[in-house]
Structure 1
Amino acid sequence: MVNFADRMSQLKGSEIREFMALTAKPDIISFAGGMPAPELFPVDEVIEAMVTVLKENGQEALQYGTTEGVPRLREQIAERMKAKNNIITDIDHILMTSGSQEGLAFSAQVFLNKGDVVLMESPSYLGAINAFRTCEPNFIDIPTDSEGMLMDELERVLETTKNVKMIYVIPDFQNPSGKTWSLERRKQFMEIINKYEIPVIEDNPYGELRFEGEYLPALKSLDTKGLVVYLGTFSKILAPGFRLGWVCAEESILAKYNFIKQASSLQAPTISMLAASKWIDMFDLDAHVEKIRECYKNRKNTMIDIMRKELPDSCKFTDPEGGLFTWIELPESVNAKELSMKCLAEKVAFVTGTGFYPNGGHENTLRLNYSNMPEEKIVEGMKKLCRIIKENL
């Protein structure tokens, strides 16, 4: 019998990834994943950029590179972070990763020992929970309201809990809830962070996908002590297949991420970095993001309108100002897992909410994605879902 490392007992497959295999079938209406709309990928432009890279820098594109990543791409990221997030940084504070998921896994390795405590929003991103579990921490999830994490509860936990090593948050269009932190909540949070000097992982894959309202400053832009580690990605604004994310952090912290990157995969893919950089030089990323925003806004509005008309008052749901997800809380008597089986029988898929709570529970919740299905499929699938919910109340 094979003896595995103790940490393997803490790990299990992602419910979302398991659903993706099932929902890849063309007859399934899937609200389960967090995938962008593939019809919006700029395929022809990427071909042009890729061919240009291979013709002009083919040997470099197919060779190993530095762990930090292609300098020109890091320059472009720094410029964009200043323009979009009000974060003043440079290439020496940016490390390229193979998607922002790798940044989450590295964060656990950099900050956590077995038994240390991670704080996060309640609920929080399932992929982050699974990434952190590899280092066997304890989780405390902090309650939230419509403006984000509750600061009184956060400070109470920090005052009374030993070995809090890291706080993980998604302030913009949170996965899974779709909630966005208010400006006042962000300022309060940074005051508390500066007081206790706890490292913060700010995950921002959805920040540019705002449909309405004003952009709010990233936590990193309010960071005066170098405590915030910012994770960004091209997966939601260009193409997830590039597998390109980045970590932006203070130098002494970023050096630790660099060591982990060297030990795990050496570097992000050279050809992806050069192709993405060339695409940004050749084409208009802002115009592309605006096209994505308009599409997702319409799809979100379609989904929310149906829920407003069809769901009973006992069901609560979020109406996000951006991002990819909305979140439903059913009456406690309804089990979302049982509901999902009934929906799958009618070829509609969603992800149950319990996996987004690190300590389990909340079996009456579910997450819906609206970015990946065309509007006619959203209408068909949501009418089925709402009917099945009403039948089970």
Structure 2
Amino acid sequence: MVTIFADRMENTRKSFIREILKVTQQPEIISFAGGLPNSALFPAEELAAAAAKVMSEDAANVLQYSTTEGYLPLREFIARRYLEKNGLEISPSEILITNGSQQSLDLIAKVFLNKGDNVVIEIPGYLGAIQSFSIFEPEFLEVPLLDDGIDIDILDKTLSESDAKLFYTVPTFQNPSGITYSQEKRVGAARILEKHRVVCVEDNAYGELRFAGEDVPTIRNYLENTILMGSFSKIIAPGLRLGWICANSPIMEKLLIAKQAADLHSNYLSQRIICQYLMDNDIDEHILKIKDAYGSRRDYMVDMMARYFPEGISYTKPEGGMFVWVTLPEGVSSMDLFDLAIKENVAFVPGSPFYTTEGAGDNTLRLNFSNSDPDEIEEGIRRLAVCMKKLTS
């Protein structure tokens, strides 16, 4: 039968998380599934004030078309912050404002990937990147994560045996595992990528959300041939849909062409509101509130897992971000666990969608701690533990 759809759509899966979220809209379900910031921490009043100010003072311009690159004062703010926080000297001309990190991934893939090209990814890897890249039909090369970051030896071997163009990584509070690369792993990865002339795509969506341990430099600090991605979704609000890409001039030139073809420019009203908010408020003070809230929720979730989970269950203890990664005993399926748990009105994301190899990660799962209060965390973990005991016994 002749199909009217492009071949690429046959090989791109639905987002498993988005499908789960349809189920978790039911109020009786305790959900650890979504990667959702806590809405109680959104600076709603401050954003409303910023929006009112922008509209009252400059509505004619705010509601008009704008430049593809994005609002210059906002790009200048991002550039200053890179210098202050990371010691990186980046020009505003090397920054492109996007409609969230997901569009950043799409534009990068459009610029670099032909069908069959090799892309190296961490395993487990960010599901949104896997889905976005899959549209362009690459060959994924998986490199496992260890407790302190990517397996350097396997990364080197993989790049030696392939002609990979890109290495995609979330080195700080990785989604889904919560793992953070050590400084040694960052330096090692940078040297290997430089040796093989592979572009690093460093997604730093969670980097500001550290609530334990010490900050470490970005991979970009050690490797100039790095595309940096950032987002306002985790530190302000995701509904405004604003992120950015930072890249050198030759790459930025291609990204701008792809962006123009996609949507001309990102939501200009959102850009102006966020920029006004940043000018009128102390973003570091706001981020500190988020970190305190998330840190206490992570501590409580880990404490409840230690109290209720049966023996043989291991889990990460992230120093920041929004996720805990759980590993069940070999042979115990997280999909089977999900089926039991949803009957008990608790949800999570099974681990398999975070792998590109069929059947891999079947005994793993991701839990989100940022969007639940302590009572929900304890009750949800208790219910989940009951289901685990049924499977493991």
Measure, in 1, the Cα distance between the counterparts of 2:172 and 2:15.
23
1:212 aligns with 2:212: yes
Within-5 A mapping of 1:138-217: 138-161=139-162, 163-217=163-217
**Contact conserved, 1:178 with 1:319, CA < 8 A, in 2?**
yes
Within-5 A mapping of 1:47-126: 47-126=48-127
> What corresponds to 1:256 in structure 2?
254
Measure, in 1, the Cα distance between the counterparts of 2:98 and 2:138.
23
Measure, in 2, the Cα distance between the counterparts of 1:186 and 1:24.
39
Which shows bigger deviation, 77-86 or 112-121?
77-86
Deviation at 1:22, TM superposition (A): 1.4
AA aligned to 1:168 is Y
AA aligned to 2:96 is L
Q: Deviations over 1:166-222 (max 9, x none)?
A: 100000000000000000110111111111110111000000100111111011122
Measure, in 2, the Cα distance between the counterparts of 1:283 and 1:341.
45
Deviation at 1:2, TM superposition (A): 4.3
Deviation at 1:333, TM superposition (A): 1.8
2:228 is paired with a residue whose SS is strand
> What corresponds to 1:373 in structure 2?
372
Identity over aligned residues, as a percent?
Answer: 42
> What corresponds to 1:384 in structure 2?
383
Gaps of at least 5 residues in structure 1 are: none
Gaps of at least 5 residues in structure 2 are: none
Q: TM-score, normalised by structure 1?
A: 0.98
Measure, in 2, the Cα distance between the counterparts of 1:9 and 1:75.
41
Measure, in 2, the Cα distance between the counterparts of 1:377 and 1:312.
19
Within-5 A mapping of 1:37-56: 37-56=38-57
**Contact conserved, 1:88 with 1:221, CA < 8 A, in 2?**
no
1:39 is paired with a residue whose SS is helix
> What corresponds to 2:321 in structure 1?
323
Q: Deviations over 1:102-134 (max 9, x none)?
A: 011111111111111110111000000000001
1:178 is paired with a residue whose SS is coil
1:63 is paired with a residue whose SS is coil
Deviation at 1:87, TM superposition (A): 2.1
Deviation at 1:84, TM superposition (A): 2.1
**Contact conserved, 1:84 with 1:208, CA < 8 A, in 2?**
no
Give aligned pairs, total. 390
Deviation at 1:157, TM superposition (A): 0.9
Deviation at 1:341, TM superposition (A): 1.3
2:206 is paired with a residue whose SS is coil
AA aligned to 1:216 is V
Measure, in 1, the Cα distance between the counterparts of 2:187 and 2:97.
28
> What corresponds to 1:311 in structure 2?
309
Q: TM-score, normalised by structure 2?
A: 0.98
RMSD (Å), alpha carbons = 1.0
> What corresponds to 1:242 in structure 2?
240
Measure, in 1, the Cα distance between the counterparts of 2:62 and 2:241.
15
AA aligned to 1:319 is K
1:30 aligns with 2:31: yes
Q: Deviations over 1:335-365 (max 9, x none)?
A: 1111111111111000000000012322111
Deviation at 1:312, TM superposition (A): 2.8
Measure, in 1, the Cα distance between the counterparts of 2:387 and 2:335.
13
Measure, in 1, the Cα distance between the counterparts of 2:363 and 2:192.
32
Measure, in 1, the Cα distance between the counterparts of 2:6 and 2:217.
42
AA aligned to 1:175 is N
Which shows bigger deviation, 17-26 or 377-386?
17-26
Q: Deviations over 1:362-390 (max 9, x none)?
A: 21110000001111111110111112111
Measure, in 2, the Cα distance between the counterparts of 1:237 and 1:344.
30
